[in-house]
Chains A and B, each alone.
Chain A
Amino acid sequence: MLGLDFSFYNWDLITSYVLKGLYFSIFLTVVATAGGIFFGTLLALMRLSGKKWLDMPAAFYVNGMRSAPLVMVILGFFLLVPFIIGRPIGAELSAIITFIAFEAAYFSEIMRAGIQSIPRGQVFAGQAMGMTYSQNMKLVILPQAFRNMLPVLMTQTIILFQDTSLVYAIGAYDLLKGFETAGKNFGRPEEAYLLAAVVYFVICYALSFMVKRLHTKIAIIR
């Protein structure tokens, strides 16, 4: 078919090359999502605190991260850290730290929009009940905000999963790298890239289909 030959592709190849990469891609996605949501919430709270000394550095960090290309952040962190601390850190660890730091900026913007989507009356109601700031956030605002922004958060996670392929730049062994290595070893790089595309497509399409279903299910009817 069109000069392509997929006969090299079998279960043995999947277990010895692809799965390891797939695990790392998924691991990186999960860790970066969890870390990104945690630090993103902190950043969002800093930006919404109404205190200039908290808002300014958070805004600087978020806007800086959002205007730099992810590839540059990945490359920069990987190449600069050994330069600064004097010894190299592994590509995998470097990727994990970079992704958490980078995604925190994006998640914080989603959080901020989510928190701001809660009517002011909810905040006042919490205050009227005599709740402290943290009680109000934890018991009233954040649960509703999370529910509102869950679909956006999950879409961002799908984008994040796609973006993990960029760790290619520093040679970390992810799903794409797994296929690439297999393709090179079997002398069939083109077919391997095509299969990688199919696998990414199936995973991302299935996830975005689920997000769509979830969206209709959890929408708060007002």
Chain B
Amino acid sequence: MANWDWQVFCKDTIDGEVVANCWGSGKDITYLHWMVEAWGWTVAVSLVGLVIALVVGSLVGVMRTLPNSPWLVRFGNAWVELFRNIPLLVQVFLWYFVLPKMIPVMKGFPPFVLVVCALGFFTSARIAEQVRSGIQALPRGQRYAAMAVGFTTFQSYRYVILPMAYRIIFPPLISESMNIFKNSAVAFAVSIPVLAQFYLQAGEETGAQVEMFVGVTALYIVSALAVNRIMTAIEKRLRIPGFVAPGGTGGH
């Protein structure tokens, strides 16, 4: 096996010379600098995707549990089946290539927006499924109690059902947030400069496949762990003594 050469990260991306401060200046950057920028893209794609997924997923999930609205329930179910049964990579291609062709307005959208939508909508189906199961896991008495004190449907969701449901589904939401970081790697297929894309390009340019792989994988693992720590801390803060949330496992 070839000798490892960690200095490669300090090399200039243009002339391949080792730069003293390992970072470069202005447009003259090192591979380390480039990798950190790629990490920034990964974080940006994942976080914006996560926000979309949480908002849309919550709406669709709530929709699927509404009483006396069979068409909204059907729409919610169809949404989940649609976005869950098409591979993420194919969905990325649909957003990036197909939709702009079918809907002329979308031609002007930057690739970042399209990829973030793909990732967010894909994940929204999984979150909607969890929100639905969280709401349905609550004893029916909770809903009746809210009705009995004269709450409207909106009020009973806002003050009674959702605060409990979100606490129940927090563990699977944590693994979904970690998943979205991992899934964001797929954005490389449409040339968004995320970490996976950096790995392909930098590995080829420098020939330092092993070093680049170790660096990029480490950053992915660190990101996923950081998300896990942050979300677990939030979960602890929100926890209500006496209620134990059941655990759950996510896909990938």
Contact = CB atoms under 8 A, between A and B. Distances in A.
**Is B one of A's binding partners?**
yes
A189 B97 contact: yes
A190 B96 CA distance: 10
A71 B203 contact: no
Given A69-B220, A84-B1, A75 B89 contact: no
Interface string A104-144: 00100110010000000000000000000000000000000
A221 interface: no
Contact of B101 (A3, A80, A110, A113): A3
Interface of A: 2-4, 64, 66-72, 75-76, 79-80, 83-84, 106, 109-110, 113, 155-156, 159, 162-163, 165-166, 168-169, 176, 189-190, 193-194, 196-197, 200-201, 204-205, 208
A71 B196 contact: yes
Contacts of A113: 249
Contacts of A196: 90, 93
Contacts, number: 118
B186 A71 contact: yes
A168 B216 CA distance: 20
13 contacts: A68-B217, A72-B185, A79-B209, A106-B252, A155-B251, A166-B87, A166-B89, A169-B189, A189-B97, A190-B101, A193-B98, A197-B90, A208-B84
B252 A159 contact: yes
A64 B224 CA distance: 11
B77 to A, nearest CB: 12
Contacts of A155: 251
Interface of B: 1-2, 81-82, 84-91, 93-94, 97-98, 101-103, 178, 181-186, 188-189, 195-196, 199-200, 203, 209-210, 213, 216-217, 220-221, 224-225, 249, 251-252
Contacts of B2: 83
Contacts of B199: 72, 75-76
A104 B134 CA distance: 29
A71 B196 CA distance: 8
Nearest to B181: A69
A197 B48 CA distance: 24
B86 A197 contact: yes
A193 B93 contact: yes
B225 A67 contact: yes
Contact of A80 (B81, B86, B213, B252): B213
A113 B24 CA distance: 49
Contacts of A193: 90, 93-94, 97-98
A204 B85 contact: yes
